[in-house]
Amino acid sequence: MKATVTPAVRSAGRLVPAAAFALVLAGCATTVPIGRLLDEPQRYDGRTVQVEGTVTRSAGLLGIGAYEIDDGTGTIVVIASGQGVPREGARTKTKGTFESVFSWAGRTIAAIIVGSGERQ
């Protein structure tokens, strides 16, 4: 006996892979240029962001530390707890909560907070 595939089943067969691909893309964080974070702090304040660049300074002790990342568009401090910090000169990608501390004279002071449950 020959099985018959209806148009609805054929259409659903095409939608399932497309939906799975869309879910995978939604889960991938997009790297935001540091310059954009500093230019538009109100847009990103309190949101999870991902940045990538070179570590220009770092210091850590007993699982708490901070380091500065430069991506060519700007620099930002990353405050990390419950994990080590990368060494100076290392390339890194970091995801955490963007916190705008204050803006003054056209300059934004901000940090990315990475908790112990988040990975660098």
Q: Which amino acid is at 42?
A: Q
How far is 117 from 72, CA to CA, in rounded Å?
Answer: 28
Domain edges within the chain: 30-114
Q: Report whether 67 contacts 96 (CB < 8 A).
A: no
**pTM for the complete prediction?**
0.69
Predicted local confidence at residue 40, as pLDDT: 92
Task: Tell me the per-residue pLDDT of 77-89, one tens digit each, with 9 for 90 and over.
Answer: 999 988 889 999 9
Please state, as a whole number, how many other Cβ atoms lie within 10 Å of the Cβ of residue 56: 12
pLDDT band at 64 (very low <50, low <70, confident <90, very high): confident
CATH architecture of the domain with range 30-114 = Beta Barrel (2.40)
Q: Which two tokens stand for residue 52?
A: 């990538």
User: Mind giving me the DSSP string for 11-74?
Assistant: HHHHHHHHHHHHHHHHHSPPBPPHHHHHH-HHHHTTSEEEEEEEEEEEEEETTEEEEEEE-SS-
Check residues 102 and 55 and name the one with the higher pLDDT: 55
